[in-house]
Structure 1
Amino acid sequence: MGELRSIAAPFVASGPSGVAVRTRLKQLTPGDEKALRLVGGHLGSLASKDLKARCRDGLEHSGQAWAVRKRELTPASSSRWAGSITKATHDQWALARRCQLAHIQNLEAGIRTIEDRLSLPVGQKGTKKAPGGYRSRREWHAKARRLRVLQDRLTAARADREAGIVHVVRGGKRLARTRHHLETAQLTESAWRGRWEAERWYCQADGESGKRYGNETIRISPDSEVSIKLPAPLAHLANAPHGRYILACRVAFAHRGTEWADRVEANRAIAYRIHLDTGRDRWYVTASWQTPPTPALPLEAALAHGVIGVDMNADHLAAWRLDLHGNPTGSPRRFLYDLTGPAQHRDAQVRHALTRLLHWAQTCGVKAIAVEDLDFTAEKTREKHGRRTRFRQLISGMPTGKFRARLASMADATGIAVIAVDPAYTSRWGAQHWQKPLTSTTRTTTRHEAAAVAIGRRAQGHPIRRRTAPPPHDRSDRAGHRTAQAGSGVPRREGPRPRIPGPRTRSVLPGCGVNAGDQNAQHRPGRSTEHGFWRQDPLPLGP
């Protein structure tokens, strides 16, 4: 057996740093929709030009160049619109750089895997930790050619990164490629064009503390009135003073509406985004603001009422409640979800599963949920798992990042702490030590439910290996000792267990058993009772 890697200590995950709520803009007039389309199209064109300028600057960009870009956009919009556009451009360029680095790391991982497997003899079997050689000469030759392709891609990606070149598509690369596969996507050219233009619109504004209702550009008053500061070329569309356009609809935020109203009344910063959902042909407005970081609970305080261990899988969450001593109590719970379909459906499925999980935690009175600190970034490379196509799709389809973010945000609102643990060996050790003992005639424990127990015990600081029962008293010599004893360095490991004062049964009088821990009183071998002078009596000579 190879050397096991070290296990990282569990920690309490930090809460969310911001809030975003969305609601629908209902009962818009044709004039309102026309104004929103014109504003979004005009600002979208400015955002595209600004992104082009930022990509052209590359690594030579500076704060002075940022100010120059903002001054150039101000006459065609306004100072606040220009600031919002340039900030969004900067964030988009930075995101593209991070994605570029992740792509380079993915290519490097794939190249290392192929080189290792090409160096092995054809047909050599692999192990659980390292893949073997390729199965045939044909596969070896195909992978040798793919190695050259990946090396060329890596060289080009490294050259782009050193030169500060990023590849960004406003509106999305996937939607841009759909233009060449309209029949497969079941779209007409006009429908695709409408979706493409809507995705490239820009109608979002950052908030400003101290300004009226927290935003001077897109403003929502306490009485739910929505108004927009029109760009300079569209000022003729204004239906209110100071170049503003007031929409005919009224909005109300059902989720966190009280928090939003408090910020509006206090003139605290709130950012807004207005966009069109082309699939539903509906307009939405999203409000977002930053929240002060919630101080994380100490690990001991979070675990004071037990913990719920949660194991995330491709189609469900397996959860089990553990008491203070790490023992599973009650029955396991399973929260199903379906990760097929569009992104909105998958996101809703994750939210619904986490909502049921948190409601169960509140019912149990538990203040902590333990999850694995999963990160499948290094596992998504195509060469990592070879021909295991379905397994690669399974890993890629698990929204681990979204799951962590959703759980941290939703748990923070309910006052439940999220404890992240090292995912090493939880499934293997959980199945080895807990699956069979927790299986009974009326309940079949799955491997995932046993992993949930392992995750919860690791969060509590207990070893995953369970302590086995002692052997029968009449067969102690034959049955042997416990398989999970204290280590050799633990103080007083050979001593007796602490005795509880008083009789344990009605048939035992008080004071009985006081010498249970006195090894001398029990005349055990190797004790001081045998260290005195000893003499053997003479054997008898006759009957």
Structure 2
Amino acid sequence: MGGLREVAAPFVVPGPCGVAIRTRLKHLTAEDEKVLRLIGDHLSSLASRDLKARCAAGLAHDSDQWAQRKRVLTEESSSRWAGSITKATHDQWALARRGQLAHLQGLEAGVRTITHRLSLPLGEKGSKRAPGGYDTRQEWFAKSRRLRLLDDRLRAARAEWEAGVVRVVRGGKRLLNTRHHLEQAQLTEQQWRTRWQAVRRFLQADGESGKRFGNETIRVTPDGEVSIKLPAPLAHLANAAHGRYVLATRVVFAHRGEQWADRIQANRAVAYRIHEDTGRSRWYLTASWTIPPVRTVPLEAARAGGLIGVDTNADHLAAWRLDTHGNPVGAPLRFGYDLTGTTQHRDAQIRHALIRLLHFAKRHGLAIAVENLDFAAEKTREKHGRKKRFRNLICGLPAGRLRARLVSMAAELGIPVIAVDPAYTSRWGAQHWQKPLTSKTRKTTRHDAAAVAIGRRALGHPIRRRTAPPRTHQSDGYGHRTVQARPEVLGREGTRPRVPGPRTRSVPPDAASTRATRTPKTVRDVRSDQEWVQDSLLLTD
């Protein structure tokens, strides 16, 4: 057991700190769409120039340069539009910087792994902690060449990191590269350009507390009227007072509409974003705001009424309900999803699976225990080598997306989410729970057993079912055998209550009194003159 790593303690996951809701802008006129595109294209050009200036500043950027960038943009838009653009630019640069650090760490990990494996003899077996040597001389030679390639990439990435140089594409690198593969994407050049312009348009404004309806740039009234403050070069397009353009549509937020209405009526900050879905020819409005962090319940209170352990897999969620003592209750649950197809389809599949899980937990008053998964260091080809199937399996697990969705949806229903260390849950769950929970009518899978292990770890119990009884005494004379009763449970040290009557159903009810007068089978009794005489043959050797 000395080679096992230390298992971290479970904890209650804090709730979300922000809210975002979306609705469709229906019945827009041709003039409305034209004005929205003109505003978005104009602000997009300003955002591109500002992003270029921010990337050129690099690590030397300070608050004075930020103020200067904002003053330059204010001349061609407004102070509020300039503030939204500079803030979005800074967030985009910071995101690229974090991605650059992750790429740098991945290159370092790959170099370390290849260097270690090249130093080992061919065919040497690896361990749980480190991989072994390469199988063939050909593979060793190919990996030595790859090491030189990774070294060059690492030096270049490290130099860019130290200089503060980042690479950002407004609109996304994937869509940009699609321009060179239009036939594979089944797009014409005009369709691609329309999509490219729609993604790059800038139509978002940050909220301001104390201002009318929480936002002066993009204003939405309680009755659903949407108006936009036009940039200075487009002021001639205004159809309302104070250089504003009012859309011909009225919006209604079906989800969290009451919360949104309460915020804007109290003039609290609400940020808005307008974007076009070119595939559906639709326009959408997204409202977002921050909320105070949800106060999480104590761990003991979260698991006081039992919980449901959940094991995340590539195509389903395996779950099992456990009581406070860590015993599985009822039958295992399975919530399936299909992660093929478009992004919207995959997101909807995960959402529907989580809804069914949350409804079950809410109906029975249970907390949810999940693994605190992080596959950032587990997806490298250098660590797992030729195990392509395993690497694809890890990449297919929607760990981050599912965790974010689960936390936000559970917070709305008031369901605590407990995160546990994922170490050895699948292995120990299959070892201790898969066979005992399998019967003639129910086949327990490895994932079901892992769900039980996750739930027991969240409850603070060991994963194994029982401790071994003393070898010198195969009874309860040495105390309670199981580890499932906690110290505060009354009667845990008491003796087993005696159940009167026979122990098997095959014995008739009067067998207890008959058994008391029955003589051993090794003694042959002969009745002679009302005396008991023992056969002398039994006394001989």
Q: State the TM-score, normalizing by the size of structure 2.
A: 0.88
Mapped contact 2:272–2:287 kept (Cα < 8 A) = yes
Question: Any idea what the Cα deviations from partners look like across 1:241-288, whole Å, max 9, x if unmatched?
Answer: 001001111111111111111111111110000001112111101000
Question: Any idea what the Cα deviations from partners look like across 1:17-48, whole Å, max 9, x if unmatched?
Answer: 01000111111000000000000000011000
Q: Which residue of 2 aligns with 1:464?
A: 463
Q: Which residue of 2 aligns with 1:200?
A: 200
Once the two structures are TM-superposed, the CA of residue 130 in structure 1 deviates from its matched residue by: 2.7
Question: Any idea what the Cα deviations from partners look like across 1:121-163, whole Å, max 9, x if unmatched?
Answer: 2222334443222121111111111111111011000000100
Once the two structures are TM-superposed, the CA of residue 436 in structure 1 deviates from its matched residue by: 0.5
Q: Which residue of 1 aligns with 2:297?
A: 297
Mapped contact 2:479–2:493 kept (Cα < 8 A) = no
Relative to structure 1, the CA distance from residue 5 to residue 484 in structure 2 (aligned partners, 3 Å threshold; closer, same or farther) is farther
Mapped contact 2:117–2:133 kept (Cα < 8 A) = yes
Aligned equivalents of 1:504, 1:270: Cα separation in 2: 68
Q: Which residue of 2 aligns with 1:309?
A: 309
Question: 1:377 is paired with a residue of what secondary structure?
Answer: coil
Q: Which residue of 2 aligns with 1:375?
A: 374
Aligned equivalents of 1:479, 1:298: Cα separation in 2: 36
Aligned equivalents of 1:477, 1:303: Cα separation in 2: 34
Percent of residue pairs identical: 72
Once the two structures are TM-superposed, the CA of residue 439 in structure 1 deviates from its matched residue by: 0.5
- Unaligned runs of 5+ residues in structure 1 are 508-543
Q: Which residue of 1 aligns with 2:331?
A: 331
The letter of the residue matching 2:174 is: R
Aligned equivalents of 1:91, 1:81: Cα separation in 2: 16
Once the two structures are TM-superposed, the CA of residue 78 in structure 1 deviates from its matched residue by: 0.3
Aligned equivalents of 1:209, 1:88: Cα separation in 2: 19
Q: Which residue of 2 aligns with 1:522?
A: none
Q: Which residue of 2 aligns with 1:448?
A: 447
User: Where does 1:39-188 land on structure 2 (aligned, <5 Å)?
Assistant: 39-188=39-188
Q: Which residue of 2 aligns with 1:393?
A: 392
User: Where does 1:134-283 land on structure 2 (aligned, <5 Å)?
Assistant: 134-283=134-283
Aligned equivalents of 1:394, 1:221: Cα separation in 2: 48
Once the two structures are TM-superposed, the CA of residue 365 in structure 1 deviates from its matched residue by: 2.1
Aligned equivalents of 2:120, 2:248: Cα separation in 1: 71
The letter of the residue matching 1:409 is: S
Aligned equivalents of 1:138, 1:115: Cα separation in 2: 16
Relative to structure 1, the CA distance from residue 496 to residue 446 in structure 2 (aligned partners, 3 Å threshold; closer, same or farther) is closer
Once the two structures are TM-superposed, the CA of residue 480 in structure 1 deviates from its matched residue by: 12
Question: 1:384 is paired with a residue of what secondary structure?
Answer: helix
Once the two structures are TM-superposed, the CA of residue 304 in structure 1 deviates from its matched residue by: 1.3
Relative to structure 1, the CA distance from residue 467 to residue 221 in structure 2 (aligned partners, 3 Å threshold; closer, same or farther) is same
Q: Which residue of 2 aligns with 1:497?
A: 493
Once the two structures are TM-superposed, the CA of residue 113 in structure 1 deviates from its matched residue by: 1.1
Aligned equivalents of 2:437, 2:21: Cα separation in 1: 43
Question: 1:383 is paired with a residue of what secondary structure?
Answer: helix
Mapped contact 1:471–1:482 kept (Cα < 8 A) = no
The letter of the residue matching 1:460 is: L
CA RMSD in angstroms, aligned pairs only: 2.4
Q: Which residue of 1 aligns with 2:3?
A: 3
Once the two structures are TM-superposed, the CA of residue 62 in structure 1 deviates from its matched residue by: 0.2
The letter of the residue matching 2:380 is: T
Aligned equivalents of 2:399, 2:499: Cα separation in 1: 53
Mapped contact 1:469–1:482 kept (Cα < 8 A) = no
Mapped contact 1:25–1:282 kept (Cα < 8 A) = yes
Relative to structure 1, the CA distance from residue 480 to residue 506 in structure 2 (aligned partners, 3 Å threshold; closer, same or farther) is closer
Relative to structure 1, the CA distance from residue 444 to residue 471 in structure 2 (aligned partners, 3 Å threshold; closer, same or farther) is farther
The letter of the residue matching 1:370 is: A
Question: 1:76 is paired with a residue of what secondary structure?
Answer: coil
Once the two structures are TM-superposed, the CA of residue 481 in structure 1 deviates from its matched residue by: 8.5
Question: 1:23 is paired with a residue of what secondary structure?
Answer: strand
Aligned equivalents of 1:150, 1:329: Cα separation in 2: 51
User: Where does 1:508-527 land on structure 2 (aligned, <5 Å)?
Assistant: none
Mapped contact 1:467–1:483 kept (Cα < 8 A) = no
The letter of the residue matching 2:316 is: H
Q: Which residue of 2 aligns with 1:14?
A: 14
Question: Any idea what the Cα deviations from partners look like across 1:221-247, whole Å, max 9, x if unmatched?
Answer: 000011110100001110000010011
Relative to structure 1, the CA distance from residue 60 to residue 296 in structure 2 (aligned partners, 3 Å threshold; closer, same or farther) is same
Aligned equivalents of 1:309, 1:17: Cα separation in 2: 25
Aligned equivalents of 1:123, 1:185: Cα separation in 2: 43
Mapped contact 1:466–1:484 kept (Cα < 8 A) = no
Question: Any idea what the Cα deviations from partners look like across 1:279-332, whole Å, max 9, x if unmatched?
Answer: 211110100011111111001111111010000000000000000101000001
Once the two structures are TM-superposed, the CA of residue 358 in structure 1 deviates from its matched residue by: 0.2
Q: Which residue of 1 aligns with 2:402?
A: 403
Q: State the TM-score, normalizing by the size of structure 1.
A: 0.88
Mapped contact 1:470–1:482 kept (Cα < 8 A) = no
Aligned equivalents of 1:19, 1:136: Cα separation in 2: 54
Question: Any idea what the Cα deviations from partners look like across 1:371-427, whole Å, max 9, x if unmatched?
Answer: 000000011212111111222122122221111111110000001000000010000
Relative to structure 1, the CA distance from residue 461 to residue 479 in structure 2 (aligned partners, 3 Å threshold; closer, same or farther) is closer
Once the two structures are TM-superposed, the CA of residue 333 in structure 1 deviates from its matched residue by: 0.4
The letter of the residue matching 1:235 is: A
Aligned equivalents of 2:203, 2:420: Cα separation in 1: 41
Once the two structures are TM-superposed, the CA of residue 468 in structure 1 deviates from its matched residue by: 5.9
Question: Any idea what the Cα deviations from partners look like across 1:193-229, whole Å, max 9, x if unmatched?
Answer: 1111111110000001111111000011000011110
Once the two structures are TM-superposed, the CA of residue 477 in structure 1 deviates from its matched residue by: 5.3
Aligned equivalents of 1:443, 1:480: Cα separation in 2: 35
Question: 1:287 is paired with a residue of what secondary structure?
Answer: strand
Once the two structures are TM-superposed, the CA of residue 49 in structure 1 deviates from its matched residue by: 0.3
The letter of the residue matching 1:252 is: V
The letter of the residue matching 1:171 is: G
Question: 1:134 is paired with a residue of what secondary structure?
Answer: coil
Aligned equivalents of 1:477, 1:326: Cα separation in 2: 24
Relative to structure 1, the CA distance from residue 129 to residue 198 in structure 2 (aligned partners, 3 Å threshold; closer, same or farther) is same
Mapped contact 2:35–2:237 kept (Cα < 8 A) = yes
Moved more, 76-85 or 382-391: 382-391
Aligned equivalents of 2:193, 2:62: Cα separation in 1: 36
Mapped contact 1:468–1:482 kept (Cα < 8 A) = no
Mapped contact 1:319–1:334 kept (Cα < 8 A) = yes
Aligned equivalents of 2:404, 2:498: Cα separation in 1: 51
Question: Any idea what the Cα deviations from partners look like across 1:471-527, whole Å, max 9, x if unmatched?
Answer: 99xx965999899777xxx99xxx992369xx86578xxxxxxxxxxxxxxxxxxxx
